[in-house]
Amino acid sequence: MSIQLNNVEFCYSKATQKNILSIDSWSTTVGDRQFIYGPSGCGKSTLLNIIGGILKPTTGTVSVLGESLDKMNSHQRNRFRANNIGYIFQQFNLINYLNAEENIQLAHHFSSRKKTTKVRDKIHYLLSDLNIKSDDWSRPVGMLSVGQQQRIAIARAFVNSPQLLIADEPTSALDEVSTNNFMSQLSTLCKEHHTTLLFVSHDTRLKHHFNHVHEFSQINSKKEQ
Amino acid sequence: MLIRLAIKSLIYRKASILLTIVTVSIGIFILLGVEHLRDQTKSSFTNSVSGVDLIVGTRTSSLNLLLYSVFRIGDPTNNISWQSYQNLSQHNTVDWAVPISLGDSHQGYRVIGTTPSYFDFFRHGNQQQLHFRHGRKFESVFDLVLGASVANKLGYKIGDRVVLSHGIGHTSFIKHDKLPFNVIGILKATGTPVDHTLHVSLQGLEAVHMTNPLAIKRLAKTPELALTQATYLKPKSITAIMIGLKSKMAVFNFQRTINTNKNEPLSAILPGVALSQLWQTMSVFDNALGLITLFIIISSLLGLSATLLSSLKEREPEIKLLRTIGASSGFIFLLVEFEAMLIALLSALIAIIGLNLTLSVAQEYILSNYGITIASHFTSTSHSQIIIGLFLLTFIAAIPPALKGAKKCHV
C-alpha cells in the first residue's frame, strides 16, 4: 500500500467542530496514477496536506509508504516529506529570486540524501529532459514563462526521486498545449521512477492520463451540517 | 544554502532593505561617533597635563586649584609668595619647579605669566612636550608666546603687537596699553587649554602692573629689554607652581610636607588624581549621552524588526513553499535572523567607513574650534564590544519576525 487512510477526520477549528474531511477508508497501491476531481473549496487540498504531512488529522490514522504519519512529530514529518514526497502546486512552486538550478538544489538540500556533485548532473539531466534550455537554467525563475516554471517544478519534485508525487491543480494556469506537454512529461517521469501520483484537479478533461479516477465527494463522506 | 538564500532574498527586496540599511547605519554611526567622541574627549581632558607631579597653590580645594591652574577656569582664591616658590624649588627632592601667574587676559583668552622653562617641562597627553609652530620661547620681558587657537582665532602672527587687559573677561576697562607685548612664538595645537592661552614672562606681568608712571615710561622705551637685565622686575607673588620630582616615590611625602607647611598656607595636588575626580563629577552628562545613543540604536533596530515583520506577508508563499519542500520551522527562523544580521553587518560597515571619513574631515575643525584632539582612525577593534552588543541587540530585535515566520503554515 502506498497510501492508507482510516477513519480520518479533520477540522481547522476545534471550537466549531465543523469537519472539512471525513474519510472512512481510502488507499492506493504503489505505482498508481490517481486522479481526484471536484469543485474548488471542497477540501481536496486539505486531503493532500494531510497525506503530505503538512496537516495532522484531528482523528484517524494516516499511513504513507508504510509509515504512520499521525505518530510522527513535526520534525520527523518534515524529514519524511523532504525525502519521499514531491510536490507541485498551481502556483508559487518556485522561489522567484533563485534560478532554476538553485530552486531544485534547495529541494535536494532539505532531503537527507547525500550531498554529492552528482546532483548537479541529475538536475541538468532533468532540466534538459523537460525541455528547459540551458540558457534559462541560471536566470531567476521569475523571468521565465509559467509553462517553463511548471516544468521546472516537475524537475524540482523529481530531484529526490520521490515515491509519491502530490500535484495540486498544477495545470490550471496553463493553456491547452502547455497542459498536454506538462501531463505527458509528468506521466513519463512517474513511470520511469515508479512514482505513485496523486493528482487533484477540477478539470475532468485530464482524466485519460490516469488509471484511477475518483470524484472527491465519493471519498469524502463529510456530512453537511 | 541558508546564506545564499538570505543574500538573494535581500537583493530581491532591495528597495525596502536599502532603506532599512540606511536607517540602521545612521543609528550605528551616531552610536559609534558619540562613543568615540566621549572616549576622545575624556582622554583629551585627562591628558591636559602630564609629567607634572604636583601643582602647588594657596590653600584651597584640589578641584579649584586644578581648574584655575590647568583649565584657566574660575579665579585663584589667593596668591602664594615668591619666597615659597624659592623654598620649594630648592628642596632636594624637587627636580624642577615652574611658577605660573594668572589674572590678566586678552580678548577673553587667559594670560599666563611664567618662566621660559615652562616650555621645557610642561607635558600633555602621553608625555608630549610643547612644540613651536613658529618662532621660539620668550627671552625678553615683553615677548609673548601664543597658543594655537589664540593665534588662529585672532589672526596673530610673529611680530604683532598685543595689549593685555587687566582681569579676566571679554571686555575689560583697564588695558595695559602703555606696554604692548611682541608675539615671538606660536605653539602647535595640543588639544589642551594651552591652545587658548597667551604666555608671557613673569617679569612682563610685573611690568604692566606697575603703578609708577615714570617707571612705565622708562620701560616703554626699552621694548627689547632682556629677561636677564630685568632683575628689578622680580615678582612678589605668583598663583601656582608646577613641580617635577626627582623620584615619583617621594610624591606623597612631599605633598604632605607642603600641605602642612607652617610658613604659608599651601596645598599641593596630584594633577592625575584631581583630573579623574573632576571627570567623575561630569559622569552624569556622560551617562546621559550614552543613554541617548542607546535609545537611538534601539529605535533603529525596532525599525529593522518592523520592516522584516511587514515583509513576512508578501513572503508567505515563499515560506509556505520552503516548508512544503522540507524546511523546518527552525530553518525559517534562522533565515529571518540571518537576514537581520546581514543588514546589521552591512549597516555597521557603512557606519564605520562613514565615521572614518567624517572624522578625517572634521578632525582639524574640532581641534581648532573645540580644542579636542580626535583620533581620525576609528577602528572597529577598539569598539568590538559595542559591535558585539549591536549584533546581540539585532538578534533580539529580529526574534519577533523570525518567530512569526517560523510559525507561518505551522505543521
Question: Can you tell me the ipTM of this complex?
Answer: 0.86
Average pLDDT of chain B is 87
Residue A223 has pLDDT above 60, yes or no: no
Q: Which residues of B touch A94 (CB under 8 A)?
A: 321
- Residue A29: count other Cβ atoms within 10 Å of its Cβ: 12
CA dihedral A90, A92, A94, A96 (to 10 degrees): 140
The angle at the Cα of A55, spanning A53 to A57, to the nearest 5 degrees, equals: 100
Output B372 or B125, whichever has higher pLDDT: B125
Amino acid at residue number A181:
N
Span A172-188, mean pLDDT?
89
Question: Does B12 sit within 8 Å of A54, measured CB to CB?
Answer: no
Which tens digits make up the pLDDT trace of B23-74?
999 999 998 888 888 888 777 777 788 889 999 999 988 888 988 888 888 8
**Interface check B323 vs A, CB under 8 A:** yes
B370 in a domain, yes or no? yes
Residue burial A42-57, b: 16+ Cβ < 10 Å; e: rest: bbbbbbbbbbbbbbbb
CA distances from B408 to A115, B221, B303, B321, B332 (A): 28, 94, 21, 11, 9
How much is the pLDDT for B242?
94
**Amino acid of residue B178:** K
What cell does A14 get? 476545534
Q: Do B318 and A102 touch (CB under 8 A)?
A: no
Asked if residue B410 has pLDDT above 60, the reply is no
The answer to whether B5 faces chain A, any CB pair under 8 Å, is yes
Domain shared by B145 and B162, yes or no: yes
Q: Would you call A79 an interface residue with chain B, using a CB distance cutoff of 8 Å?
A: yes
User: Residue B16: enclosing H or E segment and its boundaries?
Assistant: helix B14-46
In sequence order, the 6+-apart residues with CB closer than 8 A to the CB of B261 are: B84
A29 min Cα distance to partner chain B (Å)? 23
Cα(B34)–Cα(B124) distance, rounded to whole angstroms?
24
Listed in sequence order, the residues at least 6 apart from A81 whose beta carbon sits closer than 8 Å to its beta carbon are A52, A53, A54, B324, B325, B326
CA–CA dist B231, B21 (Å, integer): 70
In a domain, B277, yes or no: no
Contacts of B410 in chain A (CB under 8 A): 74
| Alpha-carbon gap, residue A211 to B186, rounded angstroms | 101
B328 and B402 both lie in a single domain: yes
CATH architecture, range A3-219 = 3-Layer(aba) Sandwich (3.40)
DSSP assignments along B38-70, one per residue: HHHHHHHHHTSSBS--EEEEES--HHHHHHHHT
What is the C-alpha to C-alpha distance for residues A222 and B90, in angstroms, rounded to an integer?
Answer: 111
For the segment B255-265, what is each residue's pLDDT rounded down to a tens digit? 999 999 888 89
Which chain A residues are Cβ-neighbours of B317 within 8 angstroms? 91-92
Give mean pLDDT, residues A200-212.
88
Residues 6+ apart with CB under 8 A from B396: none
Q: Of A39-43, A208-212, B285-289, where does mean pLDDT reach its minimum?
A: A39-43
Q: Which of B345, B405, B398, B355 is nearest to B375 (CA)?
A: B355
Cβ neighbour number for residue A148 with a 10 Å cutoff? 20
C-alpha cell at B166: 587687566
Closest-CA residue in chain B for A50?
B411
Terminal-to-terminal C-alpha distance of chain B: 22
Q: For residue A103, name the pLDDT band (cuts at 50, 70, 90).
A: very high
Each residue of B102-117: pLDDT tens digit?
988 888 889 999 999 9
Domain membership of residue B292 (yes or no) is: yes
Same domain for B351 and B265: no
Q: What is the pLDDT of residues B163-197, one digit of tens each?
A: 888 877 666 667 888 888 999 999 998 878 898 89
pLDDT band at A225 (very low <50, low <70, confident <90, very high): very low
Chain A, nearest residue to B321 by Cα: A93
Q: Is B262 helix (H, G, I), strand (E, B) or coil?
A: coil
- For the record, the C-alpha cell of B367 comes out as 581641534
Q: Render pLDDT for A58-92 as a digit per residue (tens, 0 to 9).
A: 888 999 998 898 888 888 888 888 889 998 988 88
Please tell me whether residues B64 and B209 are part of one structural domain: yes
Nearest chain A Cα distance for residue B334, angstroms = 14
Q: Which residues of A touch B409 (CB under 8 A)?
A: 54
Residue type, B342: L
Quickly list DSSP for A96-149: TTSBHHHHHHHHHHHS-S---THHHHHHHHHHHHTT--GGGTTSBGGGS-HHHH
Chain B residues touching A83 at Cβ < 8 A: 326
CA end-to-end span of chain A: 33
pLDDT at residue A221 greater than cutoff 80: no
Helix, strand, coil: what percent of chain B each, to 5?
55, 15, 25
Contact: A106, B324; criterion CB under 8 Å:
no
Q: DSSP H helical segments within B70-212, as ranges?
A: 82-89, 118-121, 148-154, 202-208
Domain boundary among B211, B239, B269: B269
Sign of the CA dihedral running A109, A115, A121, A125:
negative
Residues B244 and B375 placed together within one structural domain of the fold? no
**Within a domain: B151:** yes
Q: Are residues B29 and B167 in the same domain?
A: no
Considering the domain boundaries, does residue B376 fall inside one? yes
Same domain as B209, residue B99: yes
Tell me how far apart the alpha carbons of residues B279 and B292 are, in angstroms, rounded to a whole number: 19
- Give me the pLDDT at residue A204, please: 87
Alpha carbon of A209 to those of A129, A158, B365: distances in Å?
Answer: 20, 19, 80
**Sheet of strand A164-168: strand arrangement:** A85-88, A164-168, A196-201, A33-37, A212-215
B411 and A55 within 8 Å at the Cβ level: the answer is: yes
Q: What is the mean pLDDT of residues A93-112?
A: 89
Q: Are residues B60 and B31 in the same domain?
A: no
Average confidence (pLDDT) over A158-177:
89
> Is A81 close to B324, i.e. CB distance below 8 A?
yes
Cα separation, A125 vs A119, in Å, equals 10
The last residue of a domain, from among B229, B246, B269: B269
Nearest CA to B112 out of B275, B238, B229, B233 is that of B238
**Chain A, window 83-102: residues with a beta carbon less than 8 angstroms from a chain B beta carbon:** 83, 87, 89, 91-98, 102
Report how far residue B17's alpha carbon sits from residue B343's, in angstroms, rounded to the nearest whole number: 8
Q: Specify whether B152 is located in the same domain as B247.
A: yes
Spatial separation of the C-alpha atoms in residues A144 and A141, rounded to whole Å = 5
Partner B contacted by A109 (CB < 8 A): yes
Instruction: Please tell me the least confidently modeled range out of A47-51, B307-311, B366-370.
Output: B366-370
Query: What total of structural domains would you count in chain B?
Result: 2
- Return the number of CB contacts < 8 Å for A and B: 65
Q: Last residue of some domain: B269, B294, B316?
A: B269
Q: What is the predicted pLDDT for the residue at B217? A: 83
Domain boundaries, given as residue ranges, for chain A: 3-219
Between residues B295 and B223, which one has the greater pLDDT?
B295
User: Which residue type is seen at B291?
Assistant: L
- The stretch A129-145 carries a mean pLDDT of 88
CA A93 to each of CA A121, A127, B184: distance values in angstroms, whole numbers, following the listed order: 22, 15, 83
Buried b (16+ CB within 10 A) or exposed e, B379-390: eeeebeebbeeb
Flag whether B276 is in a domain: no
For residues A72 and A68, what is the distance between their CA atoms, to the nearest angstrom?
A: 7
Q: Beta strand B143-146 with B197-201: parallel, antiparallel or unpaired?
A: antiparallel
**Could you tell me the three cell numbers for A76?**
520527523
Give the largest Cα separation in chain B, rounded.
Answer: 105
Q: Return the bridge partners of A64, or none.
A: A3, A67
What pLDDT, on a 0 to 100 scale, did the predictor assign at position B232?
Answer: 80
State whether B243 and B204 are in the same domain. yes
Task: Tell me, yes or no, whether B66 and B202 share the same domain.
Answer: yes
Helices (H), A28-99: 44-51, 74-84
Answer yes or no: is B275 within a domain.
no
Alpha carbon of A130 to those of A94, A116, A158: distances in Å?
Answer: 16, 22, 11
Q: Which domain holds residue B64?
A: 54-269
Comparison of pLDDT for B43 and A215, the residue scoring more: A215
* In a shared domain, residues B12 and B69: no
pLDDT of residue B379: 62
Chain B, window 102-161: residues with a beta carbon less than 8 angstroms from a chain A beta carbon: none
**A82 contact residues in B (CB cutoff 8 A):** 325-326
Among residues 6-45 of chain B, which lie with CB inside 8 Å of chain A?
A: 8-9, 11-12
In sequence order, what E strands does B64-217 have? 80-81, 94-106, 109-114, 123-124, 128-129, 132-135, 143-146, 161-162, 165-166, 181-187, 197-201
**Which position has the grid cell 590678566?**
B104
Residue B303 parent element (H or E): helix B283-314
